[in-house]
Amino acid sequence: MLVELIISVLIAYLLGSISFSYVVAWNIKKIDIRQYGSGNAGATNILRVLGKGPAAAVLSLDVLKGVAAVWIAKWLEMTDFLPVYTTVGEIEGLASALAGAAAILGHNWPVYYGFRGGKGVATTIGVVASLVFFPAVYVGIVAILSIVLTRYVSLGSLIFAIATPVLIGLTKSYYGHPEPYFYLTVIFGILTVWKHRTNVQRLLKGTEHKIGKKIS
């Protein structure tokens, strides 16, 4: 249903464009978080600049906006939201996958903040967990353990980005996940690696910033 698809994608992008790291930092310190620390508009930079409480709030809100984007799309798919619509040939999972993609793109390139956002990891987690819960949980546990053991948040993010589409590809016949979910995780796995390209370079050099370390 074309109209519902367009509406769900637009809502998801506008929702994803809300930069909670910017909102929290501005309300607490009246600062643009993109001008401090690593310059990234995300929970990890909030942790470095403002501390654990604000970082936990930003992380939760960024995850939740990914969840909300997917479930709004699912709701529009399941209900006759508009009395008149155009049928374009239904592909299972397409609307929710595209809405999830729009939310992640909104986080990375937010219309409200000059298209300068974060790296989208927390929002991607919210989207992926809403679409493919068990694979996301399994990979998430490994990613969290890697962060605890190494104190490299970027390493956990990269593990989640790379391992999720691999696991979905291996188990999609068992769980019955629609094809759009797999392609979404592949595309945004690649995007996450690209957004973390400087982190990858620092990891290889052994100069990556560890969690809890202040950046001047």
Residues 142-200: tens digit of each pLDDT: 999 999 999 999 999 999 999 999 999 998 888 888 999 999 999 999 999 999 999 99
CA distance 156 to 174: 26
Amino acid in position 112 = Y
The 10s digit of each residue's pLDDT in 101-126 is 999 999 999 999 999 999 999 999 99
Question: Which secondary-structure segment (H or E) carries 171?
Answer: helix 153-175
Using alpha carbons, select from 131, 134, 191, 113 the residue that is nearest to residue 157: 191
Decide: residue 35, CB within 10 A, 0-12 exposed, 13-18 middle, 19+ buried.
Answer: exposed
Q: Are 143 and 157 in contact (CB under 8 A)?
A: yes
Rounded to two decimals, the pTM is 0.88
**Number of Cβ within a 10 Å radius of residue 137:** 10
Residue 81 phi/psi, 5-degree rounding, is: -60, -40
